[in-house]
Chain A
Amino acid sequence: MSSNSFAYNEQSGGGEATELGQEATSTISPSGAFGLFSSDLKKNEDLKQMLESNKDSAKLDAMKRIVGMIAKGKNASELFPAVVKNVASKNIEIKKLVYVYLVRYAEEQQDLALLSISTFQRALKDPNQLIRASALRVLSSIRVPIIVPIMMLAIKEASADLSPYVRKNAAHAIQKLYSLDPEQKEMLIEVIEKLLKDKSTLVAGSVVMAFEEVCPDRIDLIHKNYRKLCNLLVDVEEWGQVVIIHMLTRYARTQFVSPWKEDDGLEDNEKNFYESDDEQKEKTDHKKKPYTMDPDHRLLIRNTKPLLQSRNAAVVMAVAQLYWHISPKSEVGIISKSLVRLLRSNREVQYIVLQNIATMSIQRKGMFEPYLKSFYVRSTDPTMIKTLKLEILTNLANEANISTLLREFQTYVKSQDKQFAAATIQTIGRCATNISEVTDTCLNGLVCLLSNRDEIVVAESVVVIKKLLQMQPVQHGEIIKHMAKLLDSITVPVARASILWLIGENCERVPKIAPDVLRKMAKSFTSEDDLVKLQILNLGAKLYLTNSKQTKLLTQYILNLGKYDQNYDIRDRTRFIRQLIVPNEKSGALSKYAKKIFLAQKPAPLLESPFKDRDHFQLGTLSHTLNTKATGYLELSNWPEVAPDPSVRNVEVIELAKEWTPAGKAKKENSAKKFYSESEEEEDSSDSSSDSESESESASGEQEEEGDSSEDSSEDTSSEHRSDSESASEVGDKRTAKKNSKSKGKSYSEDGEKENEKSKTSDSSSTDSSSEEESSSDSESVSESESEPESRKVAKENEKKKTKQDRNPLTKDVSLLDLDDFNPVSTPVALPTPALSPSLIADLEGLNLSTCSSVISVSTPVFVPVKTHVLLHRMSGRGLAAHYFFPRQPCIFGDKMVSVQITLNNTTDQKIENIHIGEKKLPMGMQMHVFNPIESLEPEGSITVSMGIDFCDSTQTASFQLCTKDDCFSVNIQPPVGELLLPVAMSEKDFKKEQGMLTGMNETSTVIIAAPQNFTPSVILQKVVNVANVGVVPSGQDNIHRFAAKTVHSGSLMLVTVELKEGSTAQLIINTERTVIGSVLLRELKPVLSQG
C-alpha cells in the first residue's frame, strides 16, 4: 500500500504531497513496519527525492520518517549524502532532525560527515548564545577523529564564551572529545582547570562531571574551587549536585583528618586490623591532640544538609553517603529520616535505597531503629524488596524489639510467597544466634515449622535448625529425633543432607535411631541426590567408628554402592573413607586417628548478613549495588593521618583581593597577574586594560584568530578591521596606548569629572576602555564575592555581552548608565528579573538595595568565619551542648537584628524534649527573636536553629535561659564587635566623602608596627574581614586599604582605613559616629594586624 501512495506522491504536486506524506508516516509508524522489504530500496529513493525537493514540508516529512527508522534501529545510513545537504536548512525542525541523523551516522560515514563541519564552525560564531551552544553540541558529538583539532579549538573558544550556557556545553564537549581521543588529555585538563574557576551554577555540575571523567586524580585542581563549589551547591541543578557531592566526598577523604573517634565503631576497628603496629602507634600519638574540625570540612557538611530535602532521590542518596563517609558519627543520624522517606518511591528507588540502608544498619543499628516499622513487609511488595526489608529488620533486631519482630516474622512465614517465607526462616535463625535470649524461643518456633505443609518451608527450617544446633552443643535429642522422622517425608536434598549430617554429628546422643536411619538410607541410596549420598557416606563412617558392632555391615554395603556410583566425587569419597576407617595392612598410621578426624569439634557457622562485606564500597555507587568493582569506580581513600596543608584552599580570598585592586594599577602587579590571566581570561576580559593586555599576550601563543577576537571583545576599539599581519606591530603600539589610558584611568578614579572632559577630547578608544574599566570595576566590587547571587552575574554577563555586541557609541552610553542597575537590559533573549532567586540571601539583598540609599548599600559578606563559640557546654548542660556562630547574613527576623545560628547537640543516650528559650534577661532596648521550640532531639542528634538578636550596637551580653523539658540553663551571648556590622559596598569617592564628614571626634586612629610580610594586601584583607564583617572598598592606591560597614542597629557608617607607611608601620583609622564601637573595634583590630 505504501509503495502505491508514494508512486502517487511523485506524480502529484507538492501541496498534496505534504498531506499524503504525513498520512503515510502516521499510518505506517505505529504498525512498525515500513511496507514490504522488497520495496525498501525504492522507498529510500523516494526519501531521497523528498529530501532534494525544495519544499520544506517534504523535507520535513522525509526527515521524520528517517528518524522513525533510526528509532526502530533500522539502517538508514545510505541516505547520508542526501540528508547531510540539509544541515544548513533554515527550518529549525529540519535542522534538528538532521542533527539527530548526523550524530547517529557520522561515525560510519566519516568523509561525508566532514561536509557538514563548516556549517557548525560558522554557527559557533553566531551572536545568539543558544545557536553557538547547539552547534558545539552537535560538532562535538560527531565522532570523526579527523576533526579533533577543530573540536579542541571550538572547546577552547567556547570555554571562554561570555554565556554560561555555552560554557556548560563546552564542559560536556570535553568528555566527548576525551572519549574520542584520549591523547588530548593534557590540553583538556587545562580547559577543565579554567572552567572549574567558573562561578556560574550552570557550569559547575557539567565541569565537575568532565573532571570526574577525564582527570579524577587531579585533586589539586579542586583546592582553589572547593569553597566556591560548596557555596554554589544549593543552586546548582539537581543532576549536577549529585556529581559534585560525590566528587567532594572523595576530596574530603583526602584532605581532612578523620572526625571519627578511635573507639567509635566497627569500621575503625577493621582499619586497625590491617595496619601494622607502628602505624597504629603513630596514629594514637596523633590522636592525643584534641580533634578540631577543619572549617572547610564543616562547610561542606553544613552546605549539603538542605539538599536532604530534595525531591530528587539521587541527590538525597548522594548527601546521605556524604554524611556517612565524612561527617562525625554523631551527625550521621539526620540522614535516616530522609532515606526512609525515599521508601515511598518507585520499586527501583526502594531497591537501591534499601540496599544502602542494609549496609548502614549493620554498622549502626541506632540510626534506623526509630524507623523499624517502616521496614515492615507488605504482601504486595515485590520479593526483592521483601527480602531486603527482612535483611534490615534482622540487622535492627535487638533485645528490646525482638519480641515484636518475631511476631511480625510469624506473619511472614505464612506468606504465600514461599521464597520470602524461606528467607524469613533464615532471618529467624540469625536473630536466634545474635540474641541469646530468644534462641530457645526461636528454636521451638522453627521446630513447629517442621510440621508445615510446605516443603520449602520445612527444608529451610531444617537447614537453619541444623546451624542453630551446631552452635549450641546442648542436648537437643528430642529435636533430632523429630527430624529423623522427617526423613520419611521430606524430599528436598539440602534438608535431607542436613538431617543426616546432624544425626551423624550427634550419633552418640541418639544411639538407637542413628543405625536405623542408616539402614533406611542404605535402602534408598541409589535414588538419592549426590548431596545426600555424600552425607550418607559420612553418616556411615561416623557410625562405623562409634558403633561398629551394629553398623559394620551396613556401612560396607554403602561403601560398595558408592564405589560404583556414576558420580566421581562420590566414588572418590568412598575410596577415601574406606581407606581411612577400614583397617587393613596398607592403611598406616592415619586410621588410628580416624575417629578424631571424623568426629572433631566443628566450629559453628557464623550466620552473617550478606551485606557485611559491602561496606568497603562507597555507598550509593553502582559498585555497592552490584557488590563488585564496576569499571571506573574510584576508591574512597582512607583519612590521611595528618591533614594536608589547608591553606591551599585559601586562594579565593587572595584572588578577590586582586580583583579589588584598582583598575589602573601600577605595572609591577602585572607579572603576578599574568600567572592567572590565561585562565581568568573570561572573567577579566572586560575588567581592565592591563588584563586584556596580558591576555592578548598569552593568547597570541595559541591562535592568531582567537587572540584577535578576544581583543576585540575586551576593547571596543575600531581596530576590528585591522589585518592579522598588522597585529604584531600593533601590539607594541597598543601597549603604549594602553599605558596612557591606564594613567588616565587612575586619574579618572581620583577625579572623575576632569577626566571625563579630558577623555572626550582624546581619541574614542581610550574613552571606551576607561569608562568600561570604571564601570566594570564598580559592578565587580558590588557583586564579586563568595555568595554572589547567580542572578546578578547573569545580568552582568549580559551587560558585558551587550558592550561587546553594540559597537555604536550611542548605545554604549546607555549601557554605561545601566551598569549600576541590576535589571537586565534588552539582550537577544528576554531574561526574567534576576533578583528572584531561590536563595534567600539574594532576596534580602534585593530588598536592601531598594530601600537603602545608593551610597549605603549592604553587600554580601566577604568572608564568613566559621569559628563557633560555646553557648552551653555538654557537661554543664547535662548532655545538651550548644554552640553559636554568626553567619553574617542579614537577619530575617528584623533588620536591626544580628542573626545568630545555634547548633544544639544531644550527647546523651536519651531524647531531649522540648528545647526552648525560657526567661530572657536583656539590657534595656535589646530585643531577641527566639527560635521555635524543638519538640525533641534524638540521641546523638544535632539541629541548627537561627535566631535574631538586636544588640543595640553595644557589646553587652544577652542573657537568657535555654530550657529543656526538665532543666533550665542560663546562657549568654556576647557579640564580638565585628559582628555588629554589616558590610557596605561603596565607591572610593563616596568613601572619601563620608570620611570627610566624620572627622574630629568621630575619628580614632592608632599606629601599628609589624613585619612587612603582614602588610601584603591579601593578608590585611583576610585579617580585617576575619575580625569584622566589613565590605571592601576598591582603592586607587596601593598603600591604602579601605573597608566600609554600617552598624546593624542604627545603620551608622563605620569606615576603616589601613594606610601603610614607610618601614614596617601602618596607620589604622576608624571613622564613625558611634565612637564607642569605633574604639572597641580599633582595640580589637590592632593586635590582629600587628600579629605575625
Chain B
Amino acid sequence: MIHSLFLINCSGDIFLEKHWKSVVSQSVCDYFFEAQEKAADVENVPPVISTPHHYLISIHRDRLFFVSVIQTEVPPLFVIEFLHRVADTFQDYFGECSEAAIKDNVVIVYELLEEMLDNGFPLATESNILKELIKPPTILRSVVNSITGSSNVGDTLPTGQLSNIPWRRAGVKYTNNEAYFDVVEEIDAIIDKSGSTVFAEIQGVIDACIKLSGMPDLSLSFMNPRLLDDVSFHPCIRFKRWESERVLSFIPPDGNFRLISYRVSSQNLVAIPVYVKHSISFKENSSCGRFDITIGPKQNMGKTIEGITVTVHMPKVVLNMNLTPTQGSYTFDPVTKVLTWDVGKITPQKLPSLKGLVNLQSGAPKPEENPSLNIQFKIQQLAISGLKVNRLDMYGEKYKPFKGVKYVTKAGKFQVRT
C-alpha cells in the first residue's frame, strides 16, 4: 500500500526517505512542492495529490511534512491515520517530533519504520510492542551502551505481537502499582457578537497512565455514564460490556495511553465559563482604531479560571497596536498580525481588560470585519459536563494499586466573533 515515505522540513528539504518496495526517486516530491507553492499557506496543502504515476498523501505535523507515495487505490484515511501514528511514535520516543530529533536518531527512526510497515502494510503500530523491539533512547542508556557495547535493539523478541492482546507487553513489574486517570474536557464553542452561543459542545478524553504489574483487568464505572453521547475506544476496551452495562472493562496497555474519547452532544446545554465584552472599531478615513476587551467569569461552578490566553488574528491593514493590559502581558507580531494576550487567572473583584489604540496603514480601506477572538483557559478539578468516575476495580492481580482521578476543563476551539 504505502510505497515510500519522505520527510520534508518547512524549508523544503527532504531529510529522510524510506522505501518499502522498490525505490521511488525523490523527484516525485516536486509535485508536492508545486502544490505547496500554490497553496500559499501550509495548512492549505491538499492532503491528497495526484501525479502521473503515483499518488501523494501527506500530513503536516509539527512543522514537518510526512509525504507518502502510493501507487494504487487505498482508503486515504488509512494512510493518513498511519502517518499520524508514525508521528505519534516519534513523539513518544524522542519527546518531540522535530527535524533535529529525527536526524539525531536516524537509526532508531529507520528501525522503527522497518518494524511498523511490511511491504507497505502496517505490521506493528502499538507503542508497547515497538518499545519492546526497539528501546527508546535515554541519556543513561546511551552512556551505558557506549561502555558496555550493548544496543538499543531488544534482545528478547516481542511477545505482544503474538498474543491476542497486542497492546500490552508481557512481564510488566512495578514496585509501586499506580493507575491514574485524567478526565480532560474541552469546550468547543462559537459565541456571536452579542454574546449568545451559536454552537457549543464538549469533547472529552480520558487519558490513563497505568503502571501495574502483571496482567490486571480493570473496570471503570461512572456515576452518570448516560452523559456520554458518542464514544470511541482504545482497542483494549470490551465493547459488549459497555453496551450492556456502561462499564469500561479492559486490560490496559502499559504506560500512557488514551482510554476513550467522547462527545457530549450539543443538544445538552453547555455551560460557558467565561464571557467577553469587546468593542473593536476602526474609524473610516483615519489611520487608527479602538480596541477594548474585558473578560469575566460566568457559570464557573465556583472554581477559578486560570491560564487564560487570548489570541487575535488582526486584519492585514493593522500596522501596530498600542495597548495597556490591567493584568498579564501582551505581544503583537507585526508580521503575522497576531495579538496574544496572556492573562493568567481571573479574579472576580477586578476583571482583566486590555485597552488601547490600533494603528492602521494610512490610505488603506478600513477592514470589513472585526477579528474574532480565540480564547484559551483552564479550570482544574472540574469536568464541565458533570461526568464523574464512580469507581475503579481491579481483577486478576492480588496487590492493591494506588488509584487517582483528575478532572480538567479546557477551552478547545473557543471562538468569540466580534
Given A128-B157, A830-B159, CB of A337 within 8 Å of CB of B230 = yes
Q: Which chain B positions have C-beta within 8 A of A408?
A: 198
Mask: chain A, 61-96; 1 = CB below 8 Å from B; 0 = not: 000100110111100000000000000000111001
Interface bracket on B: 35 or more
**A946 touches B (CB below 8 Å):** yes
Write the chain A residue with the least CB distance to B417.
A411
Q: Which chain B positions have C-beta within 8 A of A164?
A: 162
Given A92-B155, A311-B232, A311-B235, CB of A626 within 8 Å of CB of B50 = yes
**A172 touches B (CB below 8 Å):** yes
Q: B107: which of A19, A64, A165, A346 is its contact (CB, 8 Å)?
A: A64
Contact A67 B106, beta carbon cutoff 8 Å: yes
Contact A414 B235, beta carbon cutoff 8 Å: no
Closest Cβ–Cβ distance, residue A643 to chain B (whole Å): 27
Given A71-B16, A416-B316, A838-B236, CB of A137 within 8 Å of CB of B76 = no
CA distance A233 to B258 in the complex (A): 22
Closest Cβ–Cβ distance, residue A916 to chain B (whole Å): 13
Q: Which chain A positions have C-beta within 8 A of B158?
A: 130
CA distance A26 to B125 in the complex (A): 27
CA distance A347 to B58 in the complex (A): 11
Q: B231: which of A97, A234, A309, A340 is its contact (CB, 8 Å)?
A: A309
Closest Cβ–Cβ distance, residue B329 to chain A (whole Å): 23
Contact A317 B15, beta carbon cutoff 8 Å: no
**A964 touches B (CB below 8 Å):** no
Contact B232 A341, beta carbon cutoff 8 Å: yes
CA distance A830 to B156 in the complex (A): 11
- In chain B, residues 120-148, which have Cβ atoms closer than 8 Å to a Cβ of chain A? 121-123, 125, 146
Given A71-B16, A206-B121, A348-B80, CB of A932 within 8 Å of CB of B246 = yes
Contact B55 A838, beta carbon cutoff 8 Å: no
CA distance A71 to B81 in the complex (A): 23
**B344 touches A (CB below 8 Å):** no
**A338 touches B (CB below 8 Å):** yes
Write the chain A residue with the least CB distance to B315.
A416
- In chain B, residues 232-247, which have Cβ atoms closer than 8 Å to a Cβ of chain A? 232-241, 243-246
Q: Which chain A positions have C-beta within 8 A of B162?
A: 129-130, 163-165, 202, 794, 829, 831
CA distance A1036 to B372 in the complex (A): 80
Q: Which chain A positions have C-beta within 8 A of B192?
A: 411
Contact B103 A633, beta carbon cutoff 8 Å: no
Of B108-116, B173-181, B275-283, B296-304, the one touching chain A: B108-116
Given A384-B44, A630-B55, CB of A29 within 8 Å of CB of B106 = yes
Contact B251 A313, beta carbon cutoff 8 Å: no
Contact B146 A346, beta carbon cutoff 8 Å: no
Contact B41 A382, beta carbon cutoff 8 Å: yes
Contact A621 B75, beta carbon cutoff 8 Å: yes
**B78 touches A (CB below 8 Å):** yes
Q: Which chain B positions have C-beta within 8 A of A129?
A: 162
Contact B151 A91, beta carbon cutoff 8 Å: yes
Contact A632 B73, beta carbon cutoff 8 Å: yes
Of B164-172, B380-388, B402-410, the one touching chain A: B164-172
CA distance A582 to B165 in the complex (A): 86
Closest Cβ–Cβ distance, residue A191 to chain B (whole Å): 15
Q: Which chain A positions have C-beta within 8 A of B50?
A: 626, 628, 630
Q: Which chain A positions have C-beta within 8 A of B340?
A: none
**A833 touches B (CB below 8 Å):** yes
Q: Which chain B positions have C-beta within 8 A of A306?
A: 239-240, 243
**A925 touches B (CB below 8 Å):** no
Closest Cβ–Cβ distance, residue B209 to chain A (whole Å): 17
CA distance A352 to B123 in the complex (A): 24
Q: Which chain B positions have C-beta within 8 A of A201?
A: 164
Q: B415: which of A56, A104, A338, A378 is its contact (CB, 8 Å)?
A: A378
**B322 touches A (CB below 8 Å):** no
Q: A71: which of B106, B154, B201 is its contact (CB, 8 Å)?
A: B106
Contact B231 A632, beta carbon cutoff 8 Å: no
Q: Which chain B positions have C-beta within 8 A of A165?
A: 161-162
- In chain A, residues 129-171, which have Cβ atoms closer than 8 Å to a Cβ of chain B? 129-131, 137, 140-141, 143, 163-165, 169
Q: Which chain B positions have C-beta within 8 A of A70?
A: 110
Contact A622 B48, beta carbon cutoff 8 Å: yes
**B23 touches A (CB below 8 Å):** yes
Contact B75 A242, beta carbon cutoff 8 Å: yes
Contact A625 B17, beta carbon cutoff 8 Å: no
Mask: chain B, 362-391; 1 = CB below 8 Å from A; 0 = not: 000101110110100000000000000000
Contact B245 A892, beta carbon cutoff 8 Å: yes
Closest Cβ–Cβ distance, residue A616 to chain B (whole Å): 15
- In chain A, residues 967-987, which have Cβ atoms closer than 8 Å to a Cβ of chain B? none
Contact B73 A630, beta carbon cutoff 8 Å: yes
Q: Which chain B positions have C-beta within 8 A of A892?
A: 240-241, 244-245
Closest Cβ–Cβ distance, residue B237 to chain A (whole Å): 7
**A791 touches B (CB below 8 Å):** yes
CA distance A625 to B22 in the complex (A): 26
Query: How many pairs, one residue from A and one from B, have CB atoms within 8 Å of each other in the complex?
Result: 303
**A620 touches B (CB below 8 Å):** yes
Closest Cβ–Cβ distance, residue B253 to chain A (whole Å): 12
Contact A378 B413, beta carbon cutoff 8 Å: yes
Q: Which chain B positions have C-beta within 8 A of A439?
A: none
**A399 touches B (CB below 8 Å):** no
Q: Which chain B positions have C-beta within 8 A of A376?
A: 190, 198-199
**B34 touches A (CB below 8 Å):** no
Given A347-B60, A408-B198, A620-B77, CB of A834 within 8 Å of CB of B164 = yes
Q: B163: which of A317, A379, A832 is its contact (CB, 8 Å)?
A: A832
Q: Which chain B positions have C-beta within 8 A of A932?
A: 226, 246
**B19 touches A (CB below 8 Å):** yes
Contact B368 A318, beta carbon cutoff 8 Å: no
Q: Which chain A positions have C-beta within 8 A of B16?
A: 71-72
Write the chain A residue with the least CB distance to B154.
A92
**A587 touches B (CB below 8 Å):** no
Q: A840: which of B71, B161, B171, B241 is its contact (CB, 8 Å)?
A: B241
Write the chain B residue with the least CB distance to A99.
B114
Contact A107 B22, beta carbon cutoff 8 Å: yes
Write the chain B residue with the least CB distance to A209.
B121
Contact A317 B121, beta carbon cutoff 8 Å: no
**A380 touches B (CB below 8 Å):** yes
Contact A93 B152, beta carbon cutoff 8 Å: yes
Contact A73 B199, beta carbon cutoff 8 Å: no
CA distance A416 to B370 in the complex (A): 9
Q: Could you show 21 A-B contacts with beta carbons less than 8 Å apart?
A: A67-B110, A72-B15, A92-B151, A93-B152, A130-B162, A318-B75, A349-B77, A351-B46, A374-B266, A408-B198, A414-B368, A620-B75, A622-B75, A626-B50, A631-B71, A791-B163, A794-B163, A829-B157, A829-B159, A832-B215, A838-B237
- 20 further interface pairs, Cβ-Cβ under 8 Å (given A314-B82, A344-B203): A26-B104, A29-B104, A30-B104, A73-B14, A129-B162, A239-B121, A309-B231, A311-B234, A311-B261, A314-B78, A338-B230, A380-B415, A384-B44, A622-B73, A630-B72, A794-B164, A830-B159, A837-B164, A839-B238, A932-B226
5 shortest A-B CB distances, which residue pairs? A632-B72, A382-B43, A414-B369, A93-B151, A840-B240
Q: Which residues of A contact B (CB under 8 A)?
A: 18-19, 22, 26, 29-30, 32, 56-57, 60, 64, 67-68, 70-73, 91-93, 96-97, 99-100, 104, 107, 128-131, 137, 140-141, 143, 163-165, 169, 172-173, 175-176, 179, 201-202, 206, 209, 234-235, 237-239, 242, 246, 306, 309-314, 316-318, 337-338, 340-341, 344, 346-349, 351-353, 373-374, 376, 378-380, 382-384, 408, 411, 414-416, 452-454, 620-623, 625-626, 628, 630-634, 789-791, 794, 829-834, 836-840, 843, 892-893, 932, 935, 946
Q: Which residues of B contact A (CB under 8 A)?
A: 1, 14-19, 21-23, 26, 41, 43-44, 46-48, 50, 55, 58-61, 70-78, 80-82, 84, 100, 103-104, 106-107, 109-111, 114, 118-119, 121-123, 125, 146, 149, 151-155, 157-159, 161-166, 168, 170-171, 188, 190, 192, 198-199, 201, 203, 215, 217, 226, 229-241, 243-246, 250-251, 258, 261, 263, 266, 313, 315-316, 365, 367-369, 371-372, 374, 396, 413, 415, 417
